[in-house]
Amino acid sequence: MLDVPAPVREKARVHGAGAWLSGLPALVADLEREWGVTVGRTYSDSTESVVVEAVTADGRPAVLKLLVPRDGAAARDEVIALRAASGRGCVRLLRHDAGRGALLLDRLGPSLHDRGLPIAERHQILCTLVRRFWVPVAELGADARELPAGAAKARGLADGVVAWWAELDRPCSERAVEHAVACAERRAAAHDDERAVLVHGDPHQWNVLADGDGWALVDPDGLLAEPEYDLGVVMREDPEDMVGGDPFARARMLATRTDLDATAIWEWGVVERVSTGLLATRIGLQPAGRLMLAVADRVAGLRGP
C-alpha cells in the first residue's frame, strides 16, 4: 500500500488527478517489473510528488519519484534539467519515463532541514550548490534550450497570485498582491537570454539532501532565468527570520555571496513569497503559508535594497 502524503493528495485534487491517485499501485507495479527495482516505504514529507524507496536489481539504493500530473511538462523539464546539470550540485538521474511522470534517482541522506543547521550556514550551502548547478544557456544542449524562460515564469507566477488570492478569499492584503505583481512585471521585463542560466527553480532546505560528506539538490524545476531567481526562493524561506529587523539584510547578504544583484534577488523573493504562500494555503500546508503571507504584508510596497 502506498501511503500518499496529505499535501500530495490535495495537490492531486487541485489538479484534477484523482484517476492518477487511484492508479498509483498499478503504476508502481509496472515500473518495478520494467525497471527491475523493488520498492519499499513511501517518504512522508513529500509535497509535490510521491517518493518511494527503491533498490535496483544490482542492489543500488534508489528512490522512485512519481510526479502529480498537471498542466505543462514538469516531468520532462525536470529530466532535462537533471541531465544538463549532470550531477553538478544535484542528485543523479538513473532512469526516467517523463510520459508517466516517473524518475528513478540515487538515494541520498537526510535533508538540510533535518540537520538543524543555523540559518547562515544553510544559506552558505544553498549558495554554493546553486552556483554549481547553474549552466549558461550557450553551454546547454538543444533540448535544454527549449526549457521555459524566466520572463514566462514571472508572468505565470503573477497570474497565479491574482487568481489564487481571489479563490482563497484574500488571505493577505491587496497591497501585497499588487507588490508581487509589480515585481514580477519588472523581472519579466529584465529577462535577458544572453545572461540566463539553467536555474534549479526551487532551492530550499527540504530540497537539499546529504550526499556522502557533502550535499546535493533534488527536485529541479528546469528553467532558464537570471540566476537571481534561485536566490529569490531562498528569500521566501524561513519567513519567521524576516519578521523583525532589516527586511533587506538577507537580499544584500545573498547578493554579496554570489556576486549578483540584490534588487533582483529581493524582487524575485517578493513574487515567490506571495505565490508560495498562497499555494501552501491552497493545499493546506500550514503554518508555512500563513507565515509567508504575513511577511508579504509586512514588506508590501518596499522597492528593495
Handedness of CA 175, 181, 184, 190 (dihedral sign): negative
Mean pLDDT across the stretch 183-201? 97
Does residue 119 sit in the same domain as residue 95?
no
Distance, CA of 265 to CA of 258 (rounded, Å): 11
pLDDT surpasses 80 at 240:
yes
- pLDDT tens digits, one per residue of 112-155: 999 999 999 999 999 999 999 999 999 999 999 999 999 999 99
Cell digits of residue 225:
532565468
| Residue at which a domain ends, from 91, 106, 121 | 106
Asked whether residue 1 is assigned to any structural domain, the reply reads no
Asked whether residue 305 is assigned to any structural domain, the reply reads no
Q: Provide the Cα torsion 51, 202, 22, 163; round to 10°.
A: 160
Domain span holding position 231 = 112-299
DSSP assignments along 119-149, one per residue: HHHHHHHHHHHHHHH-EEGGGS-TTGGGSPB
pLDDT level of residue 47 (50, 70, 90 thresholds): confident
**Nearest to 207, CA basis, from 101, 103, 125:** 125
Does residue 165 sit in the same domain as residue 19?
no
**Is there a cis peptide before residue 61, judged by omega within 30 degrees of 0?**
no
Does residue 219 sit in the same domain as residue 116?
yes
**Nearest to 87, CA basis, from 105, 101, 104, 99:** 105
